[in-house]
């Protein structure tokens, strides 16, 4: 078997046993990228020299008998809104087409201290605003399972690269489902951690109260390995939670005997494809056979979640993106008459349609006369959603839902229909609103396209999520590298 096809945990063992070198593994992934990324479009920037240098350091440590971390030498891809010192960080936007950060995000410092091998920066929806990775300024990313389908968004490059074997695992960010949706569409595992468990320092902000960095991998153990490396308190980040964390690779046996699984009717109603619903409920029945207890619950404020999310997130985006004005860094319009004209032309030329749409919506809901009518009401809805989840977790340990209402749609199908595009987030945004952890794991296919089941847990209960996801994995098997030969894409 080619090295790029092996899971991260196995690659780690092979490096330590000297069955292969970190350099050989890294080169295997670069060869894979060179062979298929022209079709997939997952990477914006490659880090060939830096990755091979880091791999060589790991090999030298192993040769000297030095102890190395569980992810040392394992190649990883990084979503392009996470700051990487000396390496382009574009947010897939013309606005930051030439931006090279002078510092690393905290998660990057953690990866580097663990001797990770950084392969490069992955494509995404511009400034993480989108559900299909079609809004990138640089390129289109395609779903490895069908090149005519979207990979989901905004971490589409991260999920597609993992599914296609272009990295062992990847980092994404999740503001309203941007890790879980592409994980579901691409048939891999994606974890959105509890808000505050992974530092956001150095991550280009979209909606600061929702954004969260998390891992994407082809199996649950790899998710746990990567989450171990990136979680933890960071004094540089105001919302970082100061607490101790367990070893998340422990206790993921997949034993669900006695586990209480909540099934909310609101996540299985209008808008959810009947076949997706059937796949998810069928998997829940399998878990019930293994000793889990299924409980019907209600989350009535779910129907207002999308509206509240887009009001609050757009309001925060309009504030966070005000800094991109052509003065300090990034793109600047070439022709302008005065300072105000430079601001206007730079932002008009530098931002794509989806980003402009959200900035305008956010500015509108924060404006005088509309703040109470929209933003304030959205915050009340957010509080109600949080209360309902808190009440639900008094009755159950995890909540099971579809990750997405449908499987991956065709490229170009929804790009000109913002309302339809946003509807794909219906199952994921409530979790970000409440700051909860959630995981998407494959639970079958429909017409050869993956279906994801989502498990939600109470804050800081990622260990329960990982164990539940492992139970699904034991039934379905771990995801393998997707073969794309013979697919053409239009």
Q: Which residues are known catalytic residues?
A: 79, 154, 178
Positive or negative torsion for Cα 5, 10, 11, 15? negative
- Contact (CB, 8 A) for 251 and 467: yes
CA angle 187, 189, 191 (to 5 degrees): 140
Give the CB-side neighbour count of residue 136, counting CA atoms within 13 A: 30
Q: What is the rounded distance in angstroms from the CA atom of residue 73 to the CA atom of residue 75?
A: 6
Helix axes of 305-320 and 377-392: crossing angle, nearest 10 degrees: 120
SS3 450: strand
* Gyration radius (Cα) of the chain, Å: 21
User: Distance from CA of residue 423 to its chain's centroid?
Assistant: 18
Number of helices (H), then strands (E), belonging to the chain: the values are 15, 11
Q: Quick one: DSSP state of residue 43? A: E
- Is cis: bond before 154, omega within 30 of 0? yes
Torsion of CA 162, 221, 1, 5, to 10 degrees: 0
Greatest CA separation found in the chain?
71
Least Cα distance to 46 among 214, 187, 161 occurs for 161
SS3 335: coil
- Contact (CB, 8 A) for 171 and 230: yes
SS3 256: coil
Residue 1: count other Cβ atoms within 10 Å of its Cβ: 8
Least Cα distance to 152 among 181, 192, 191, 173 occurs for 181
For residue 446, give Cα distances in angstroms to 188, 250, 379: 15, 33, 37
Tokens coding 374: 């929209």
Q: Quick one: DSSP state of residue 374? A: I
**Exposure string for 86-101, b = 16+ CB within 10 A, e = fewer:** ebbbbbbbbbbbebeb
**Alpha-helix residue ranges (DSSP H) falling in 242-329:** 274-289, 305-320
Tokens coding 310: 């887009």
Q: What is the rounded distance in angstroms from the CA atom of residue 29 to the CA atom of residue 395?
A: 45
SS3 399: strand
């Amino acid at each position: 078997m080619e090295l790029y096809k092996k899971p991260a945990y196995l690659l780690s063992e092979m490096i330590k046993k000297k069955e292969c070198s970190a350099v050989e593994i890294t080169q295997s992934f670069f060869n894979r990228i060179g062979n298929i990324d022209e079709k997939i479009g997952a990477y914006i920037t490659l880090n060939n020299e830096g990755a091979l240098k880091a791999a060589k350091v790991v090999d030298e440590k192993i040769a000297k008998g030095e102890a190395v971390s569980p992810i040392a030498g394992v190649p990883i891809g990084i979503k392009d809104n996470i700051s990487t010192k000396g390496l382009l960080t574009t947010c897939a936007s013309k606005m930051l087409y030439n931006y090279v950060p002078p510092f690393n995000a905290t998660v990057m410092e953690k990866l580097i201290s663990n001797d990770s091998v950084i392969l490069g920066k992955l494509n995404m929806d511009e400034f993480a605003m989108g559900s299909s990775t079609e809004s990138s300024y640089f390129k289109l990313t395609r779903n490895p399972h069908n090149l005519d389908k979207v990979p989901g968004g905004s971490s589409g490059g991260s999920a597609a690269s993992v599914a296609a074997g272009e990295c062992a695992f990847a980092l994404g960010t999740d503001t309203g489902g941007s890790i879980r949706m592409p994980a579901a569409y691409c048939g891999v595992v994606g974890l959105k951690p509890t808000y505050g468990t992974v530092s956001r320092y150095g991550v280009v902000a979209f909606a600061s109260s929702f954004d969260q960095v998390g891992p994407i991998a082809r199996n649950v153990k790899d998710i746990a390995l990567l989450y171990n490396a990136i979680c933890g308190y960071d004094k540089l980040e105001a919302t970082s939670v100061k607490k101790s964390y367990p070893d998340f690779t422990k206790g993921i046996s997949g034993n669900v005997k006695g586990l209480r699984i909540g099934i909310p009717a609101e996540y299985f109603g209008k808008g959810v494809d009947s076949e997706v619903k059937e796949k998810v409920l069928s998997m829940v029945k399998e878990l019930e056979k293994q000793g889990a207890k299924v409980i019907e619950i209600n989350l009535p404020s779910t129907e207002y979640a999308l509206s509240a999310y887009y009001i609050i997130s757009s309001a925060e985006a309009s504030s966070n993106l005000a800094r991109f004005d052509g003065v300090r860094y990034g793109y600047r319009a070439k022709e302008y008459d005065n300072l105000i004209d430079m601001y206007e032309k730079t932002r008009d030329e530098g931002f794509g349609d989806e980003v402009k749409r959200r900035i305008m919506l956010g500015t509108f809901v924060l404006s005088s006369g509309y703040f109470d009518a929209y933003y304030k009401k959205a915050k009340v809805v957010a509080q109600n959603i949080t209360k309902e989840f808190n009440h639900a977790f008094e009755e159950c340990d995890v909540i099971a839902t579809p990750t997405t209402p449908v499987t991956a749609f065709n490229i170009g199908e929804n790009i000109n229909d913002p309302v339809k595009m946003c509807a794909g987030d219906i199952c994921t945004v409530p979790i970000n609103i409440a700051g909860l952890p959630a995981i998407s794991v494959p639970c079958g296919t429909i017409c050869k396209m993956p279906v994801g089941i989502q498990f939600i847990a109470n804050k800081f209960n990622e260990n329960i999520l990982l164990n539940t996801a492992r139970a699904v994995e034991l039934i379905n098997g771990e995801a393998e590298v997707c073969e794309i030969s013979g697919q053409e894409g239009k």
